[in-house]
Amino acid sequence: MRLRIFSQVLYPLAGVLLIIAAWVLACWLLNIPTVVLPSPDKVLRALVVRSDLLLSEGWVTLRETLYGFVLAMLVGLPLAVAVANSRPLNLMFYPLLIALQSVPKVALAPMLLVWLGTGLESKLALVWLVAFFPIIVDTAAGLRATPKELLELAQSLNASPLQIFLKVQLPAALPFVVTGAKVAITLAVIGAVIGEFVGSSEGLGFLLQSATSQLDTPLAFAALFALSVLGIFVYALVGLGERLMSSWLPPAPAHQ
Amino acid sequence: MAFGVIKNVRKVFQLDEIGWTALEPVVALDDATFEFEEGELVALLGPSGCGKTTLLRIVGGLIAKSAGSVAIAGREVTKPMGDYGFVFQAPSLMPWRNVLDNVLFPMEILRKNDAAARRHAHELLELVGLSGFLSARPHQLSGGMQQRVALCRALVHRPRLLLMDEPFGALDELTRMEMNDLLLRIRHETKAISEAVYLSDKVVIFSKRPARVVKEMAIPLAYPRSQKVRFTPAFTAAERIASEALGVVAPTADEAPAHAAQGAGRQ
């Protein structure tokens, strides 16, 4: 037990403290101006003093991220089922999906701004775009990777298409869905921030940009810190979903 | 009329059934004809890739035949009948289900997952010595144990016909012998010659692809059989006749040296 506290808490903490100490030392010894690199205590002060602002802007970014991600799941999962189960649809769209996946979707941000304005819509569209592809591609791959024997077993029992889907294909694809969702949620945060960079009047990305342009570097660092916390939080949400379904998931799909 | 009548069954795979890998239609099964009775254990013996699996899938109604007829219990098989059991070469269990729920899967599909079904599943698992592993997940079991679960899954809905495609092919020698005995206790396809003779009432021997039935032989060994039967003259004789028909052993009266031919026998 004591060993676990050492290895899982104290050592990582010591590593973080070491880096902060190096940061403080560098600011002090090299006499770096606050505008270029604020010392940790100034960032901490910004975090405390501007906590209301950070929370309200963080709330905006969190909503963009989660709404966009949920939209991507709602559209991506059914489409993945359609593409995986219909041979014509698969032939028509799967190569396109793979090709589109490698397009840098964030490059569309300026155009989305033109089409949808500076409000929530353009951010949702960008988050949706970046999150959609890993979800649909991984889910379709998972559905298609269902072992042939299990499908034949179900067919030999005259299972209905719905039974085959719910009892065989879907559970077999679930580990792939989780993998896709983990990639998607990470990209969703990036999409939200890029959307705010390109054109917005709120959100952590906007705050980061305006703080930098006003040379308020401590606030920019505080916003960056808040963004990291947000990213970890949403990733943990997906991880929580995975744990809730853990009785469904094989413990080590990679080894099977 | 016999319980199972397989008559002049032919299967030619068209290109759209097998993808673009083949350049021309593949004749998987040329002309398979044999009969069997209810409760009879029939082994299909033939070189690797000779179409035994194809025939099993046709009999199971999973794929359509190109010609011929398959009648089981008086019904012509054109689609899955729902009351057959399948055992594949790999256990093919569902990793997200525990042992009991894997066995109960057919009952769920047939919407008969009631108390009686659960009781039957318990009985079957006890019969194969897995009553202590009801809530274990497949990855926690050895290969032999997984295949025993697969066997229970194939039997849980009391199938009229049990189709097994090299069910013990992926197991080691000792486990395979154990499984053979287990199958005898419970009371069909295999590629290993002695396994076929040991387990079966009848052995149907296939030629190389496109497969035809070369020989049909009854196995006169009495029940109950035990591993001792492997060393009796009747067993050895049956095994030799089967080996000769397969071309593994040259058909001479003397002890001709077995030359390893066309991948028949165990792999």
CB contact under 8 A, B108 and A150: no
Q: Are residues B139 and B194 in the same domain?
A: no
Residue A149 contacts B, CB cutoff 8 Å: yes
Q: Are residues B121 and B103 in the same domain?
A: yes
Q: Are residues A105 and A84 in the same domain?
A: yes
**Scanning every residue of chain B, which has its alpha carbon at the shortest distance from the alpha carbon of A174?**
B96
DSSP letter at B113 equals -
Residues of A whose CB is below 8 A from B164: none
CB contact under 8 A, A153 and B90: no
Residues of A whose CB is below 8 A from B57: 152
Q: How many residues does chain A have?
A: 256
Q: Are residues A105 and A13 in the same domain?
A: no
Residue-wise pLDDT tens digits, A83-142: 888 888 888 888 888 888 888 888 888 889 889 988 889 999 999 999 999 999 999 999
Q: What is the ipTM metric for this complex? A: 0.72
Which parts of B128-187 fold into alpha helices (H)? 143-155, 173-186
What does the pLDDT read at residue A139? 93
What does the pLDDT read at residue B16? 64
Are the C-beta atoms of residues B198 and B190 closer than 8 Å to each other? no
Q: What is the mean pLDDT of chain A?
A: 89
Residues 150-169 of B with CB under 8 A from A: 153, 157
Choose among B26, B7, B4: nearest CA to B15. Answer: B26
Q: Which of B84, B105, B139 sits opposite A251 (nearest CB)?
A: B139
Q: Which of A147, A157, A250 sits opposite B110 (nearest CB)?
A: A157
Residues of A whose CB is below 8 A from B60: 152, 156
> Residues of chain B whose pLDDT is less than 50?
188-191, 253-267
**Planar angle of CA B189, B191, B197, nearest 5 degrees:** 80
What does the pLDDT read at residue B249? 59
C-alpha A84/C-alpha A139 separation (Å) is 9
Domain of residue B214 covers 1-81+187-267
Q: Are residues A225 and A105 in the same domain?
A: yes
Indicate the number of domains in chain A: 2
Q: Are residues A99 and A82 in the same domain?
A: yes
> Residues of chain A whose pLDDT is less than 50?
252-256
Residues of A whose CB is below 8 A from B96: 171-172, 174, 247-250
What does the pLDDT read at residue B126? 85
Q: Is B172 within the bounds of a domain? A: no
The nearest CA of chain A is from the CA of B158 a distance in Å of 12
Q: Are residues A21 and A42 in the same domain?
A: no
CB pairs under 8 A between A and B: 63
Q: Are residues B27 and B38 in the same domain?
A: yes
Q: Are residues B196 and B266 in the same domain?
A: yes
End residue of a domain, out of B159, B178, B201:
B159
What does the pLDDT read at residue B190? 44
C-alpha B227/C-alpha B177 separation (Å) is 8
End residue of a domain, out of B159, B176, B195:
B159
DSSP letter at A35 equals T
What does the pLDDT read at residue A85? 84
Domain of residue A209 covers 38-255
What does the pLDDT read at residue B257? 37
Q: Are residues B197 and B67 in the same domain?
A: yes
C-alpha B264/C-alpha B224 separation (Å) is 28
Residue A172 contacts B, CB cutoff 8 Å: yes
Q: Are residues A6 and A83 in the same domain?
A: no
Q: Is B175 within the bounds of a domain? A: no
Q: What is the mean pLDDT of chain B?
A: 75
Are the C-beta atoms of residues A230 and A61 closer than 8 Å to each other? yes
Q: Are residues A141 and A233 in the same domain?
A: yes
Q: Is B165 within the bounds of a domain? A: no
Q: Are residues B63 and B16 in the same domain?
A: yes
Chain B interface test: which of A91, A156, A248 (most B C-beta within 10 Å): A156
Indicate the number of domains in chain B: 2
Residue-wise pLDDT tens digits, B200-212: 666 666 666 666 6
Residues of A whose CB is below 8 A from B110: 157
Residue B92 contacts A, CB cutoff 8 Å: yes
Q: Is B176 within the bounds of a domain? A: no
Q: Are residues B77 and B197 in the same domain?
A: yes
